[in-house]
Structure 1
């Protein structure tokens, strides 16, 4: 099915709906300026109606086999409400969750008052937003991450998206791509700053994950993955 909206041409393959534009949440309702409310026969119909007004969010309430579609032109907040399936525009969702823009990406550092996480839990938390872990592409990106650490958190450790779980000394990014295949290559990586001796040579079997340490000039050191530190910086998917 092709949906035609001024300036937009999209193909909807099935009722999972336009994943490029909207993010699905069960039991959460968007609250804001309502464009219209209407009973519909399917989620697909509600999504199509939403696109006709370029809505920021649509709520699909499911009660006794009846579907009520409410489209919102703006989002003020999110509330918990059973029987509701809501689809938020990525922009609206990320703004409400506290993301900011950095180099055309939505990015966010976890609230420092929340419990600290293990390395794996930090990765899982970013993916649940929905999103991914922010990966620095340049030394400027790394220094920006350090500045976020300096301004948002107290002294301590912030997990970084590198690990050598699979092969000791061979560090890979959280997405599986390799940043180095030897200590020498790690030391020469252009987008990160290692603490002296930590680029593979100072690693141990027990320490497979990497963190930025405030106590060593905000450089990278290896840590145990099951320690709890400040979470990694997250990046939005859209």
Structure 2
């Protein structure tokens, strides 16, 4: 079985985000970038399935600028077998990402596509669902646990009422949640080897996709600063402030 894992290059989750002076977006100059954390979990799950003998090949694919090679090489250093870069400048919205991935799926013929449920930069949470719709495949979203069987996969997912398990026929789409696994660290020798591995470079046009901007960002603002806390001298004073100042009770 072949597994395809889409990965995205995003601002590192440890970095404090800065908004551009004109409010047009996030300032990416001299900012550390890394693989989207949800996609790291997807790569880890694919590698675990390969190590368990459930898959023969893991392919990582990224859609973005030339610098996205760094993200793909991280996936290779973790243990992926091949990497595909679909070069696209600027913002590629979820629908176009799904259309491009559909083309990659049709070219590579994987039986399983595992991707993060969302990217931490836009939080759209749309690509996996759109890809499943375009391909006509089943989908197991927000995966908490994945168990492969002969021709099927059981996906346990977190829902408001607890946990729900769905059985999906292959081929299928899985999107990963945070508690599915703990991604491994890439070792230094593997990082050095990954730098020498060739990448398969494509463009959206190779898959018959014209990237379109359907959305316009009107304004980007930083969160309001958090107000400083205060100390109260008694429970009675606390209740008074909650009732008369905060309106909480």
Relative to its length, the structure with more strand (as a share) is 1
Specify which structure has the bigger relative contact order, considering alpha-carbon pairs within 8 angstroms and separated by 6 or more residues.
2
TM-score (norm 1): 0.24
Answer 1 or 2: which has greater helix percent. Answer: 2
TM norm structure 2: 0.23
